[in-house]
Amino acid sequence: MTPANVFTTVLCRTALMLCVCAAPALARAQTVASGVHAGASPTVGAAAGSSVSPTVSPTAGSSVGRSASPAVSPSVSPAVSSSASSAQSDAEAAQQEAFDARQTVLNRRTEEYTYRYQVAEHDCYSRFFVNHCLGVARKAMYAAKDDIRTEQLKLNAEERALHAQQRDERNALRDAQDQADAPKRANNEKVNQASFDEKQRQHQIDEASRIASQPKSEAAAQAQYDQKQADFQSKLDQAHANAQKDEQQRTENVDRFNAKQVKASEHQESVKQRQTKAAAAAAASAAAASAAAAKSAAASGAVQK
């Protein structure tokens, strides 16, 4: 029989055992509930509660956990693992329902005994021996509470044992899954390590290439810098030459402007002299004409006389 089959068989037997053990607890819960609603006495509830055997004992839980742990092997397939997990979940749910049913019964018994003690206490005050009646009722209540506490402690112990068993089974399943995934993880680690080594090797190659090409790069950068400096110096010299040429042009323009100003002044002076001469000549001509007219007028007057 293979480890997977052994593991599946153990889980199926555990689930079957839990279902069989949970059936009396459920039946007892229904019986007690019907007895409580029908007005049953505390004695019936106590008898019903004490007659139920523990569902899972610590010995049984530890033996099942020990037998289930070595049966799991890394060769369990995912389908078997998922079916085993679902079966385990169903078994745990059934066990929890059984514990809840037993706890419900204990809670109802506690409420019923509390109510009956309160009724007995109320009735005792109408009797002659009040203290004796209260003592009897109190003793009955303490005895009932002791029984309930005993069953509650037993239930808590069984629940703790069951939780420990379930924890061990989950740990066994997890360990089996880890063992099943170990080859895959190892393969992934190898692939990741190979990728890392390849990246490191490529980085070393790139670093060596950069170091080897660094002198050439420095020479090219120096040549480029020298060319930029030569171009800048050439542009600066050209700018100085253009500035000198412009300065010379401005000087020549100033000289030409000054020569034009002098020539204009001379021309204006010659024009003024010509105008003065022309005015003098016109004045002399006018005077001569006036004198001739006067002579002519005088000559005419003399002839007439």
Q: What is the pLDDT of residues 134-151, one digit of tens each?
A: 888 888 889 888 988 999
Q: What confidence category does residue 296 fall into, taking pLDDT thresholds of 50, 70 and 90?
A: confident
Indicate the pTM of the whole model: 0.35
Q: How does pLDDT run across 225-235, given as a tens digit for each residue?
A: 989 999 999 99
Q: What is the pLDDT of residue 208?
A: 87
Q: What is the pLDDT of residue 109?
A: 87
Please say if the pLDDT value at position 257 is more than 90. Answer: yes
Q: How does pLDDT run across 34-62, given as a tens digit for each residue?
A: 443 333 333 333 333 333 333 333 333 33
Q: What is the pLDDT of residue 53?
A: 37
Least confident of 65-69, 123-127, 280-284: 65-69
What value does the mean pLDDT of the chain take? Answer: 75
Question: What secondary structure does DSSP assign to 164-204, as a single string?
Answer: HHHHHHHHHHHHHHHHHHHHHHHHHHHHHHHHHHHHHHHHH
Higher-pLDDT residue of 284 and 81 is 284
Q: How does pLDDT run across 156-211, given as a tens digit for each residue?
A: 999 899 899 889 988 998 999 989 999 999 999 999 999 999 999 999 999 888 88
Q: How does pLDDT run across 7-27, given as a tens digit for each residue?
A: 455 455 555 555 545 445 444
Q: What is the pLDDT of residue 26?
A: 47
What six digits make up the tokens of 264? 């204009």
Average pLDDT over residues 214-241: 86
Please say if the pLDDT value at position 223 is more than 80. Answer: yes
Q: What is the pLDDT of residue 49?
A: 36
Average pLDDT over residues 263-276: 90
Q: What confidence category does residue 239 fall into, taking pLDDT thresholds of 50, 70 and 90?
A: very high
Q: What is the pLDDT of residue 160?
A: 92
Q: What is the pLDDT of residue 202?
A: 93
Q: What confidence category does residue 79 fall into, taking pLDDT thresholds of 50, 70 and 90?
A: low
